[in-house]
Amino acid sequence: MKPSSEVLLRCRRITRRWGGIVAVNNVSLEFVRGSVHAVIGTNGAGKSTLINILSGEYPPSSGEVELLGHDVTGWTQPRRARAGLGRSYQRNTIYPTFSVFENCRLAAQARHQRPWSWWRSSLANTRNNEEAKAAAARAGLGDLLTRTAGLLSHGQKRQLEIAMCLATAPQVLLLDEPLAGMGAEETERMLALLNELKEGHAMLLVEHDMDAVFRIADRITVMVNGAVIASDTPDQVRNNADVQAAYLGGH
């Protein structure tokens, strides 16, 4: 098997109902190492619900999730995270009162937690420190380690979200609108970062910025009312008549 076709995350026939509303309807997708798989759709199409089910925030009403060859449908979110699933949120979920370094260090700590050595300073774990610094540097925050996270610019906060994901050394990245609210320059920087991260990771990207999506994605899935209406390469999706009618509006 070629490494490029290695499926790291897969869901089969995922459905999620909220009372009478079907938020996600019979969705089956695969996420492959080394590629960016974008999921697009209007607000309420079920993209965030899909991410939440994949990451384990809540279970699907039916269907299965498979991570690195394990059936993880019954696993809690923290267990999936430790197994290699990293996610970022649509809204900033950084720890605003901690430094940039501490945000990343705490994320790195998740994989080797050692809660019982209560007398040792958290900073005594040099492996965590190095991983945190490396993750911050990779996300472009290497010079801002001591900055209080709440004082960062919006774009930097989004970068920190990614850095915290990276500090947990994930194999799969679920990124919920990493470009939301960014200026042109910040967007370029983030896209360059995501392009870099493609290698070695399977990436799910939920994003509203269509130009960015069509530039970076290797595969695009279009959701309407909880169901997948197309899942293909960007060119195929662009020319898909259903997609144009439902979403792109002749884009």
Partner 1 sequence: MDGIGIQRGKLAFVLLVFLGLAAWPAVAGNYGVDLVGKIMISSIFALSLELLVGTTGLVCFGQAAFFGIGAYAAALLMSQSGSSSLWWLLPACVVCAGLYALAVGALSLRTRGVYFIMVTLAFAQMAYYVVHDTPLGGGTDGIYLPGKPGLGTWLDLDKPLAFYGFTYVCLLAVFGFLALLLRSSFGRALAGVRVNEQRMRATGFSTFPYKLASFTISGAIAGLAGFLFAVKDGVVNPELMSWHQSGAVLIMIILGGLGHLRGALIGAFALALLEEFFKSEAVFGAFAKHWHLGLGFTIILSAAMLPRGLVGIPALWRERLEGRARALDAKSSSKEGIREAVV
Find, among 93, 67, 92, 62, the residue nearest to 79 by Cα: 67
Residue type, 163: A
- C-alpha to C-alpha distance for 138 and 131, rounded to whole angstroms: 10
Could you tell me the end-to-end alpha-carbon distance of the chain, in angstroms, rounded to an integer? Answer: 37
To partner 1, the closest distance from the beta carbon of 175 in angstroms equals 12
In the sheet that holds 21-32, the strands lie side by side as 21-32, 7-18, 62-67, 70-71
Number of residues that bind partner 1 (CB under 8 A): 37
Verify binding: residue 221, partner 1, rule CB under 8 A. no
Among 13, 70, 114, 215, binds partner 1 (CB under 8 A): 114
48, 49, 55, 156: which one binds partner 1 (CB under 8 A): 55
Which of 174-200 are b and which e, b meaning 16 or more Cβ less than 10 Å from the residue's Cβ?
bbbbbbeebeeebbebbbebbeebbee
Closest listed residue to residue 251, CA positions, set 222, 226, 231? 222
Q: Is 98 in the site for partner 1 (CB under 8 A)?
A: yes
Q: Which of 13, 71, 74, 79 binds partner 1 (CB under 8 A)?
A: 79
Nearer to partner 1, 79 or 251 (CB): 79
Residue 170 is encoded by which pair of tokens? 């994930």
Interface residue with partner 1 among 43, 116, 249, 250 (CB under 8 A) is 116
String marking each residue 148-187 x if it binds partner 1 according to CB under 8 A = ----------------x---x-------------------
Smallest gap, in angstroms, from Cβ of residue 87 to partner 1?
5
Residues that bind partner 1 (CB under 8 A): 55, 57, 76-79, 81-82, 87, 89, 93-98, 102, 105-107, 109-111, 113-123, 125, 164, 168
